[in-house]
Structure 1
Amino acid sequence: MDGRREEGRASAPGAPQPESAGTPWVEAPPGAPRVEYRIEDLAHHSGATVRTIRAYQDRGLLPRPERRGRSNVYGDAHLARLRQIADLLDRGYTLASIKELLEAWDAGRGLGGVLGLVAEVDGPWTDEKADRITRAELEAAFGGTPDAAAVADAVALGVLEPLPDTDDEFLVPSPQELAVAAELHAAGVPLSAISGHLRELRGQVEHIAARFLEFTNEHVFARYLGNRPPSEADAAEAASLIRRLRPLAQKSVDAELARAMRLFATRNLRRHLAAEEPPRQRAELQYVALPASTMDAVQALVGQENVAAFITAAAERELHGRTLDALAASRGDSGIVEQKPPST
């Protein structure tokens, strides 16, 4: 049972030779003895764990074994399928994508178009190349002061990616994004504010991307990807469309961002230039007689050193409260709140 013949590694589906890949089921030559495996043997020869093999069966990625008495028997076809799955995982495909690919293959469809479509979607959507940066270079770019919390935040955001076997170097997926952060920090923006802004910006951009995808799915891709899995011709046409439409998303966002930035920057500048000179604060102090019992109560509450600040804050809060009450009371029948409280 543990013995096995020399198996050739089954060719996983790949874009360069999809049509010659044939069927994933590897049959033994005529007259050759059939090789059978227990699940432990299959795990040993494939490199997968027993638990992984069972999980693949549950997800429909691997056919069920042949039941023989009280034993489950696997063959070379199962070994070939496990090796194909491993190859596709190494290429970055998800298990869901692998299942669709293998279902198409089992149905006798060519995979050139499907793999081309997957590669087009999974591939980089930018011409920017990742780079590396040492911890010393990182500190120099951000003022020369080590900041472990900021580095941890950058790693959590994916701006930096730790490299295996070293604590002194990071992968930078987007050097451009890191350079923007360095420029903002040099202009006086705290690192924590930069991280918070990036989180907010990322959420807004992901919303834009989702809406753009919904738009193109509805008006462009529905006719090509309506069938699961798509035909060879439909998948190839969809991949070609992605190559043509991908730059359009970036151009649309760039144009709208430039328009909005000009609009709001101009509006903001005009507001500042037209602003009246703020009223000057009276610097002198004035003294107010308060009952001794009131002073004693405040001192007991906040301490002698905080009495003046507490009374000032309480008076200002009362003034603000009355202003809000006046604004609420001035609401007319039209439902519009006046901008100034009524004069008293």
Structure 2
Amino acid sequence: MTVEDLANQTGVSVRNIRAYQTTGLLPPPRLQGRLGLYGQEHLGKLELIRDLRQQGFGLEAIGGMLVNTPDGAWSEYSLVTHLFSKSFFTVEPSQRKAMAEMASHWGATASPAQKERLAKNGLYRPVEGDEVEMLSPSLERIGIQLAELGVSLDTVLDLQDDLVRHTRAIAKTYVEQLFLDLIQRMTKDKAPGADASATIDARQIAQMHAVFERLRPLAIGSITAAFPVVLQQEFDNGIKKRLKTGGKKR
């Protein structure tokens, strides 16, 4: 394929294709005289880059992912990102809200520092103007109920930051040790005689989707199942520490 053919087939502009080559994300074409020709490996890799960009990943992050993606598996990974991107693991639709309203339940206006924290914790996505997309409306409703109990906005933000940090670590473990491991196992066994760049067939796609449909509630439910037990243990430990220190924080 020429670069124009590659652009037409993937929907990625010629300019961006050349930019990906310059940054090292995409290998250079094979030269035939002065004409650069692209093959299936370029196509699969570019489709993966395109899909990851559409999910909001930066070029540096994509570069790190590509380093760990087996050669010739670009099409498979592109297919996987398409099947399980955006909303596969979400359990509720997102909602939009003006950033100025985020602190209204505390009878105040969010400070620039508080807005900055909201924008960085990953639960809110900037949309346009002062609006944000709340990716977990349920968590926002919990924050409102905490406000009604007299919990300060800064404390709620602290809790959210800790929640995101720890759940992200758990999610990363699930993704790397369970989901990606299963993808690798299910995509490495291609049909006999298929070349390295061949995509997985419809049967494998259906099988993968069915397995992930079963794994999704198990992964999410495991957090719900373990947290009450750990919460009780930490509450008991916290009470004991306070009694030993005369009620003072340590």
Shorter-chain TM range is 0.5 to 0.7
CA–CA separation in structure 1 for the residues paired with 2:123 and 2:90: 15
**For each residue in 1:119-178, what CA deviation from the matched residue of structure 2 results, as whole angstroms up to 9, or x when unmatched?**
3432321121111112443242332434232112111213333333x23x2222222222
Task: Find out whether 1:196 has 2:190 as its counterpart.
Answer: no
After TM superposition, give the deviation of residue 235 of structure 1 in Å: 5.0
Partner of 2:81: 118
CA distance in 1, matches of 2:18, 2:7: 22
Residue 19 of structure 2 is aligned to residue 52 of structure 1: yes
Distance in 2 of aligned mates of 1:92 and 1:269: 41
Check conservation: 2:30, 2:37, Cα contact below 8 A: no
Return the offset for 1:77.
Answer: 7.8
Is residue 156 from structure 1 mapped to residue 106 from structure 2 by the alignment?
Answer: no
The amino acid across from 2:30 in the alignment is: R
Contact 2:123-2:136 at 8 Å conserved across structures: yes
Read off the aligned partner of 2:55 and give its amino acid letter: G
The amino acid across from 1:121 in the alignment is: F
How many percent of aligned residue pairs carry the same amino acid? 18
TM-score for both structures, normalised by structure 2: 0.64
The 8 Å contact of residues 92 and 136 in structure 2, kept in 1 or not, is answered as: yes
CA–CA distance in structure 1, aligned partners of residues 35 and 126 of structure 2: 43
SS at structure 2 position matched to 1:65: strand
Distance 1:201 1:146 in 2: 20
In the alignment, structure 2 segments of 5+ residues that lack a partner are 190-195
- C-alpha deviations, 1:228-272, integer Å up to 9, x for none? 87743545433321111111011111111123334555x479979
Per-residue Cα deviation, 1:157-205 (whole angstroms, up to 9, x for no partner) = 13333333x23x2222222222222322332223222222322222222
Instruction: Return the alpha-carbon distance in structure 1 between the equivalents of residues 37 and 184 of structure 2.
Output: 40
Taking structure 1 as the reference length, the TM-score comes to: 0.49
Letter in 2 for 1:122: S
Is the counterpart of residue 252 in structure 1 residue 222 in structure 2? Answer: yes
Please say if residues 51 and 81 of structure 2, whose CA atoms lie closer than 8 Å, have aligned partners that are also in contact.
no
CA distance in 1, matches of 2:216, 2:85: 12
Q: Is 2:213 the partner of 1:243?
A: yes
In the alignment, which residue of structure 2 is the partner of 1:285? none
2:31 aligned to which of 65, 77, 81: 65
Give runs of aligned pairs for residues 273-284 of structure 1, distance below 5 A: none
Q: CA deviation at 1:74?
A: 3.6
Count, aligned residues: 223
Alignment counterpart, residue 179 of structure 1, candidates 122, 133, 141: 141
For the residues of structure 2 that align with 1:103 and 1:221, how far apart are their CA atoms?
Answer: 14
Distance 1:65 1:181, change over 3 A: farther
Conservation of the 8 A alpha-carbon contact between 1:114 and 1:235: no
Residue segments in structure 1 that go unaligned for 5+ positions in a row: 1-5, 14-42, 106-110, 279-344
For residues 87 and 93 of structure 1, the distance between their equivalents in structure 2, rounded to whole angstroms, comes to 10
Task: Tell me which residue corresponds to 1:170.
Answer: 132
Partner Cα separation in structure 1 for residue 180 and residue 55 of structure 2: 27
Q: Secondary structure at the match of 1:161?
A: strand
Q: Residue 107 of structure 2 aligns to a residue in which SS? A: coil
CA contact (8 A) 1:88 1:98 kept: no
Q: Kindly indicate whether the alpha-carbon contact (under 8 Å) linking 1:225 and 1:235 is maintained by their aligned counterparts in 2.
A: no
SS in 2 for 1:48: helix
Aligned equivalents of 1:49, 1:255: Cα separation in 2? 46
**1:117, 1:239 within 8 Å by CA — same for their partners in 2?**
no
Rounded Cα–Cα distance in structure 2 between residues aligned with 1:54 and 1:220: 30
Distance 1:140 1:234 in 2: 50
Q: Using the alignment, how far apart are the partners of 1:73 and 1:222 within structure 2?
A: 35
